[in-house]
Amino acid sequence: MRASRFIEIGVGFAAAAMIAVVATAPLGSRAADHLDAPNLASREDADINDVYVFQAATPGRTAIAVTTSPAAGIIGPIDYATNVRYKINVDRSGDAVEDLAYVLDFSAPSGGSQPYTVTRYTGVNARNLGQGVVLGGGMRGAITSLKDGAIAFAGLRADPFFFDLAAFRHVVLGAANGRTGFCDQPGPSGIDFFAAFNTNAIVIEVPNDSLSSGGGTIGVWATTLDRTTGAMIDQMGRPAINTVFNHTSADKEAFNVTPPSLQPTTGNFRSNVIGTLEALGGYSASAAGAIADILLPDVLTYTVGTKAAGPLNGRAPADDVIDVELGLVTQGAITTDCVGPHTYLSTFPYLGVAH
């Protein structure tokens, strides 16, 4: 089933909750970063859903997780693309330019699984992928040990994202579905649309000193690249930035191929953030501009060795980033969708077992 049909029948992905107060929102019914731009409807295997960075269960280690392929097995494929490079970017100097990168390359599925390799790139090589160090390889669905104390997992997991789609459809799209808004269910509570969906996940765990010496602040984001041309297909750091603030298809697609370091000064991106904040939250132009300068570039900042508190200091799977962002964008008018976290694992690879 293609994404357009999935949306038409009313079980498409929710738009990020930050736009849930606008009945005329032009963003359809997408979610977090799932299917955030029209061109990704034909490239679900390269579509980045969410990015997480947080303390690992073992002291002195950090986990980074990237989910791709929305509703894997229904919309997106279960297999990883062999013509896509899946890249985790790390900025260690605060300029939103990667100094370190971990890249996963997948071979064709075989025997019910799929082999892959993990390569680490540093310095200028993190940007041009010219020369790297192969840390090792593994098979889809299994935990594998790599060089330098790293471990990796790639495979199907329960989608960690949580959000109330039905309430969103009523508030934003005007659906007469028996809902009256967020938190209107007995309890009160919401209904988590994502509770039964799966996604492909890439999770790596590394010693803290592989990311930063002395517990400094890093920036993390993910990109998917065409393996032949090297062209960027999708990029994401913080949750829902492209989904919420870029309202036209052209801006959404342009955002996904613009490196984070260029986003604050390229095209309409910064003005789109300011305009949305003014419209949704009643912010002054100066206040909206100050928030825009935090949200752009689209990089998930994290102080290594600290407890994640998404979306402004890393992001752990259970962090309720939608509640935080609802309060931010609406200046406290809406503070929750009454949907809580899923069940996650306490040890690597942390994301829940696939449904």
248 falls in which pLDDT band (50, 70, 90)? very high
The answer to whether residue 154 sits within a structural domain is yes
pLDDT for residue 18 is more than 90: no
Which range is least confidently modeled, 24-28, 65-69, 159-163?
24-28
The answer to whether residue 355 sits within a structural domain is no
* Radius of gyration for the alpha carbons in the chain, expressed in angstroms and rounded: 19
Dihedral over Cα of 214, 215, 217, 218: its sign: positive
pLDDT for residue 201 is more than 90: yes
Instruction: List phi, psi (to 5°) of 128.
Output: -100, -5
Average pLDDT over residues 323-334: 86
173 falls in which pLDDT band (50, 70, 90)? low
The answer to whether residue 341 sits within a structural domain is no
The answer to whether residue 351 sits within a structural domain is no
Average pLDDT over residues 92-98: 97
Which residue range(s) make up the domain with 283? Answer: 3-329
Predicted pLDDT of residue 104: 98
The answer to whether residue 346 sits within a structural domain is no
Average pLDDT over residues 9-33: 36
Average pLDDT over residues 225-247: 93
CA–centroid distance for 80 within its chain: 17
3-class DSSP state for residue 294?
Answer: helix
Asked whether 351 and 344 are in contact (CB, 8 A), the reply is yes
Q: How many distinct structural domains can be found in the chain?
A: 1
The residue whose two tokens read 């959404």 is: 252
Predicted pLDDT of residue 113: 95
pTM score over 0.85: yes
Tokens at 3, concatenated: 């994404």
The answer to whether residue 334 sits within a structural domain is no
Predicted pLDDT of residue 204: 98
d(CA 26, CA 241) in angstroms, rounded, equals 15
d(CA 258, CA 250) in angstroms, rounded, equals 12
Which range is least confidently modeled, 16-20, 224-228, 270-274, 350-354?
16-20
Which range is least confidently modeled, 8-17, 31-40, 187-196?
8-17
Asked whether 183 and 195 are in contact (CB, 8 A), the reply is no
d(CA 288, CA 266) in angstroms, rounded, equals 18
Amino acid 335 reads T
pLDDT tens, position by position, 133-165? 999 999 999 999 999 999 999 999 999 999 887
d(CA 307, CA 212) in angstroms, rounded, equals 16
Instruction: List phi, psi (to 5°) of 187.
Output: 140, -55
Predicted pLDDT of residue 22: 31
Amino acid 129 reads L
Q: How many beta carbons lie within 10 A of that of residue 157, not counting itself?
A: 27
d(CA 317, CA 321) in angstroms, rounded, equals 9
Instruction: List phi, psi (to 5°) of 88.
Output: -100, 120
The answer to whether residue 354 sits within a structural domain is no
Give yes or no for a cis peptide into 349 (omega within 30° of 0): yes
Average pLDDT over residues 59-63: 98
228 falls in which pLDDT band (50, 70, 90)? very high
Dihedral over Cα of 8, 10, 11, 14: its sign: positive
The answer to whether residue 343 sits within a structural domain is no
